[in-house]
Amino acid sequence: MVGYRRNKPGNPDDIFFLVIVTRNRRPWIAEFGCYDFLLAQMKRATREFGVRFEAWVILPDHVHWLIKPGKADYSRVVSAFKRWISWSFKRRGLIRKGEKLWQDRFWEETMRDGDHYQRCVEYIHYNPVKHGLAGTPRDWRYSSFHGYVEKGLYPYDWACDENMEIYESEYD
C-alpha cells in the first residue's frame, strides 16, 4: 500500500493546484461531450464547500483546477466532484455499476509564492495547446482563460506567439 500523505491546508489563504485524471486516461469527457456538465459540478463544489476558483481547464481526459479552499478540505471537494459525476453517469445508464470514470487518486501541489502561482495559471491556460486540442488558449472554450481576458489579466492574444515557453510541464 502506498504511504501517501496529502498536504493539509494550514492557512485559509493556501492555494492548491489539482490534477484530476480519468481512469486509464480514457477521454470520456470528450466522448460524452460533458465539458459543461463537469464545469457545473466544479461550480457546485465551490458553492457547497465554500472554495474559490482561481483557474481551471477541462480536457478530454483530465482536469486542472487551481482552488483556494479556505477552511474546506480540498480532498473532500475533489471526492464529492468525482462522486457526483459518477453517480449521474450511473443513474443515466452511461456506465455500469462498478465501472470507474476516474483514477483513484489525484495530484496536488501547494502554491509556494506568486511566481509559482503565475506559472501554474499559465500552464493551465496553455494546456489545450500543449495537447494539440487548440491552436491558441483563446480557441479552447473549457478554460478560465476567457475570464482572465475579461478581467484584463491577459490580452486576448496571450500565448499566440509560436516562441512562447510555458513552464511546469511535469503536471501532466
6 located within any domain: no
Residue 40 host element (H or E): helix 35-49
Q: Establish if 154 belongs to a structural domain.
A: yes
Domain residues for the domain of 47 are: 16-171
Q: What is the pTM of this model?
A: 0.89
- The three-state secondary structure class of 64 is strand
3 within a domain of the structure (yes/no): no
Q: What is the pLDDT averaged over residues 35-44?
A: 96
CATH code (residue 149): 3.30.70.1290
Task: Using the Cα atoms of residue 168, residue 115, residue 128 and residue 74 in order, give the sign of their dihedral.
Answer: positive
Range from 39-43, 59-63, 95-99, 150-154 carrying the lowest mean pLDDT:
95-99
For residue 94, the 8-state DSSP code is S
Q: Is residue 121 part of a domain?
A: yes
Domain contains 11: no
Q: Cell digits for 12? A: 485559509
Residue 22 lies in a domain: yes
Task: List, for residues 54-89, the tens digit of each pLDDT value.
Answer: 999 999 999 999 999 988 899 999 999 999 999 999
Question: Has residue 96 got a pLDDT over 90?
Answer: no
In terms of average pLDDT, the best of 53-62, 90-99, 155-164 is: 53-62
Placement of cell 509559482 in the chain: 116
Contact 127, 57 (CB under 8 A): yes
Query: For 5-38, how does the pLDDT look when each residue is reduced to its tens digit (9 = 90+)?
Result: 556 656 778 999 999 999 999 999 999 999 999 9
Q: What is the mean pLDDT of residues 142-165?
A: 87
